């Protein structure tokens, strides 16, 4: 390798790595894909084994472990019971107010079984979809696991989303039951989640039961016959700690999770019990090198795929100890994270470039206050990590001994697709090489491989067990969004631009579609624009992303006002707040520019790239399709 900026793993890291060699195993995994994935699946327990590892007779609706029966809970909890793992810590939680809760695998099983029995008593059945809208509380995780245990699918909606966004997702999933909390703590102040649920339900009749966990004790409005306090239900005889885990087909739905695309409303990606179990378990074991004695902290929110795969399922299947924290990273001081790493002896920390940049801003003296020598591996996800943040993380958090696992993946992929192993030489800013079994390529618009170092579309050339099965109730959209573009070749189109260098390392550049990554969160320009246009003063709008030091990207809106209205600073604030109310605070635009016209093609499509080039003072490129 001819790049100077390469960081080699230490002897110590290599010595203890679960996987000590990449090239040969990678070669084997793509030549004998089914054999490789059968061997990984053999490491888990199944009620009934598969008759075929991969059924590709109905592309792109691939079926993994066809004919097998399992339940992810069997591997995440049940099989640890009666082994020494039963009495080790499964889960440590710290509230923002300093409250600490700990659960052994035995206790986790009890909590999940109690929750599962309550859901059953509320009429939840196999195949139902339960919506979970909660802050980061232990009950959020118990609720997810309880759904899975009884064969219901969970749909977790991020607690930062607005009542409108929540309503859309409840309606799309037709959830009879919603699980929430009165609120949680954020920067010392209570949030008001139940209130948002109440607002959403005013406009919706499908929900019959709302279960509310008490966290803050703030007054909330409870409606007779619909609203139940979790602690009241827990006191009933039905809420006992024994519950059978329901047998599921490998291909049955485990959860759905909504994510934004380039068009229309967010789509619910469907993940299944079998393939997803194998994929999260394997990636966790090989990339994060998980050992039974590890304390693993994935600082994402369970409301995102990162939380599903690597707070909850991947680590529990591996019998590790997970840690999660309720609140803000800088509350009450910017050393909160490092204090907790020290206190609990966290050994692996997985977070986002945005979070790293946010903590970096306060300076390393906050890190140095604490003995964080328990850390042995670090991780990054969500967007490309800028080398400056990478180096800060490596030097000040990892003390130049912890390799950084920069993991590229998506809600759709279920788990890591491009990621190093602890033994992989690292280049800051590159997610390095494909994970086992994955064939990735950078291609031009015709689907042909581009030359080394050239930019193109990132594609996945072969199926993998973590892949989403479909878009909920919309097979057509699944095909259209991911498989149509390179239909001839049968490639999955990731929607990202990338380069592959002379060492086979992948460098992700960013989205090629109309999806914006703000602080690592994925938002569709179409959704943002329709939120802006729903403001009574707005006639037309366009939204683009521009670089931002902390967030990676920030949203900038361009607005044409309705006839006769005059632009003002006040109106700008109003529109920004309106978007935050419609979608949630993460979608709040950084700026609104009032314009008389928007650049459009003759067919009426907004040319966002022209707005962007103009804002950045760059060349506007080919304007031949511009209407005027
Ligand atoms: C998009 C997927 C997968 C969990 C979190 C995001 C971007 C993700 C990386 C990375 C560069 C990354 C891509 C991708 N992305 N990880 N390590 N380096 N870019 O899941 O919300 O489904 O977003 O996030 O653009 O397509 P998501």
CA of 463 to the centre of ligand 1 (A): 18
Helix (H) or strand (E) holding 24: helix 23-31
How far are the Cα atoms of 206, 245, 341 from residue 296, in angstroms, in the given order? 38, 26, 10
62 touches 492 (CB < 8 A)? no
What is the reported pLDDT for 124?
Answer: 98
Question: Which residues touch 46 (CB under 8 Å, ≥6 apart)?
Answer: 65, 68, 69, 70
Distance, in Å, from the CA atom of 231 to the CA atom of 226, rounded to the nearest integer, reads: 15
Whether residue 420 has its Cβ less than 6 Å from ligand 1: no
Mutate to test the pocket of ligand 1, among 304, 410, 434 (most ligand atoms within 8 A of CB): 410
pTM: 0.95
Per-residue pLDDT of 578-594, as tens digits, reads 999 999 999 999 999 99
Whether residue 408 has its Cβ less than 6 Å from ligand 1: yes
CA of 328 to the centre of ligand 1 (A): 22
Residue nearest to atom 10 of ligand 1 (CA): 408
Classify burial at 580, counting beta carbons within 10 Å of its beta carbon; exposed 0-12, middle 13-18, buried 19 or more. Answer: middle
Mutate to test the pocket of ligand 1, among 161, 299, 424, 517 (most ligand atoms within 8 A of CB): 517
What is the reported pLDDT for 622?
Answer: 80
CA of 264 to the centre of ligand 1 (A): 20
379 touches 349 (CB < 8 A)? yes
Low-confidence ranges of the chain (pLDDT < 70): 1-4, 628
Helix (H) or strand (E) holding 139: helix 138-149
CA of 584 to the centre of ligand 1 (A): 20
CA of 210 to the centre of ligand 1 (A): 32
Question: Which residues touch 154 (CB under 8 Å, ≥6 apart)?
Answer: 129, 130, 131, 132, 143, 144, 147, 148, 254, 255, 256
116 touches 243 (CB < 8 A)? yes
Distance, in Å, from the CA atom of 197 to the CA atom of 146, rounded to the nearest integer, reads: 21
Whether residue 151 has its Cβ less than 6 Å from ligand 1: no
Distance, in Å, from the CA atom of 337 to the CA atom of 334, rounded to the nearest integer, reads: 8
CA of 530 to the centre of ligand 1 (A): 24
Distance, in Å, from the CA atom of 35 to the CA atom of 185, rounded to the nearest integer, reads: 48
């Amino acid at each position: 390798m001819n790049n100077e900026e390469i960081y080699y793993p230490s002897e110590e890291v290599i010595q203890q790595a679960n996987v000590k060699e990449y090239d040969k195993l990678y070669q084997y995994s793509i030549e004998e894909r089914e054999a490789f994935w059968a061997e990984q699946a053999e490491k888990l327990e199944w009620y009934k084994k598969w008759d075929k590892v991969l059924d590709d007779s109905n592309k792109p609706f691939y079926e993994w472990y066809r004919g097998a029966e399992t339940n992810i809970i069997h591997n995440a909890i049940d099989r640890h019971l009666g082994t020494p793992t039963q009495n080790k810590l499964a889960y440590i939680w710290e509230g923002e107010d300093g409250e600490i809760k700990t659960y052994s695998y035995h206790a986790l099983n009890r909590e999940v079984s109690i929750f599962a029995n309550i859901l059953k008593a509320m009429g939840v059945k196999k195949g139902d979809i339960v919506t979970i809208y909660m802050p980061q509380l232990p009950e959020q995780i118990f609720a997810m696991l309880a759904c899975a245990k009884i064969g219901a699918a969970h749909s977790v909606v991020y607690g930062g989303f607005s009542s409108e966004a929540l309503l859309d997702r409840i309606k799309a999933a037709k959830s009879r039951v919603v699980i929430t909390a009165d609120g949680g703590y954020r920067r010392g102040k209570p949030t008001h989640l139940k209130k948002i649920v109440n607002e959403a339900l005013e406009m919706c009749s499908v929900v019959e039961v709302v279960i509310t966990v008490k966290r803050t004790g703030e007054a909330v409005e409870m409606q007779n016959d619909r609203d139940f306090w979790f602690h009241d239900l827990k006191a009933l005889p039905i809420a006992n700690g024994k519950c059978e885990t329901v047998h599921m087909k490998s291909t049955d739905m485990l959860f759905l999770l909504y994510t934004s695309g380039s068009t229309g409303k967010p789509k619910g990606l469907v993940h299944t019990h079998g393939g997803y179990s194998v994929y999260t378990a394997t990636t966790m074991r090989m990339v994060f090198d998980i050992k039974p004695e590890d304390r693993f902290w994935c600082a994402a929110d369970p409301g995102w795929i990162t939380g599903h795969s690597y707070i909850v399922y991947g680590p529990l299947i591996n019998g590790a100890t997970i840690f999660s924290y309720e609140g803000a990273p800088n509350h009450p001081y910017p050393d909160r994270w490092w204090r907790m790493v020290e206190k609990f002896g966290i050994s692996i920390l997985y977070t986002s470039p945005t979070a790293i940049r946010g903590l970096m801003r306060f300076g390393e003296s906050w890190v140095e206050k604490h003995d964080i020598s328990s850390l042995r591996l670090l991780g990054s996800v969500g967007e490309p990590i800028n080398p400056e943040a990478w180096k800060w993380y490596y030097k000040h958090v990892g003390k130049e001994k912890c390799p950084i696992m920069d993991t590229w993946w998506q809600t759709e992929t279920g788990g890591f697709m491009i990621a190093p192993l602890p033994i992989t030489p690292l280049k800051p800013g590159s997610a390095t090489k494909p994970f086992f079994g994955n064939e990735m390529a950078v291609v031009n618009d015709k689907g042909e491989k581009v030359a080394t170092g050239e930019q193109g579309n990132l594609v996945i050339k072969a199926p993998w067990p973590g892949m989403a099965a479909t878009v909920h109730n919309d097979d057509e959209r699944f095909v259209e969004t991911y498989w149509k573009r390179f239909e001839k070749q049968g490639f999955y189109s990731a929607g990202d631009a990338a380069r592959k260098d002379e060492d086979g390392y992948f460098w992700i550049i960013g989205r090629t579609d109309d999806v914006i990554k703000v602080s690592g969160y994925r938002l569709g320009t179409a959704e943002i624009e329709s939120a802006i246009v729903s403001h009574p003063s707005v006639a037309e709008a366009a939204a683009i992303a521009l670089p931002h030091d902390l967030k990676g990207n920030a949203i900038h809106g361009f607005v044409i006002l309705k006839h006769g209205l005059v632009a003002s600073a006040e109106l700008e604030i109003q529109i920004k707040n309106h978007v935050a109310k419609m979608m949630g605070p993460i979608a709040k635009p950084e700026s609104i520019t009032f314009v008389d016209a928007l650049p459009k093609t003759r067919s009426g499509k907004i040319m966002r790239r022209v707005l962007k080039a103009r804002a950045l003072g760059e060349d506007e490129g080919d304007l031949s399709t511009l209407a005027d």
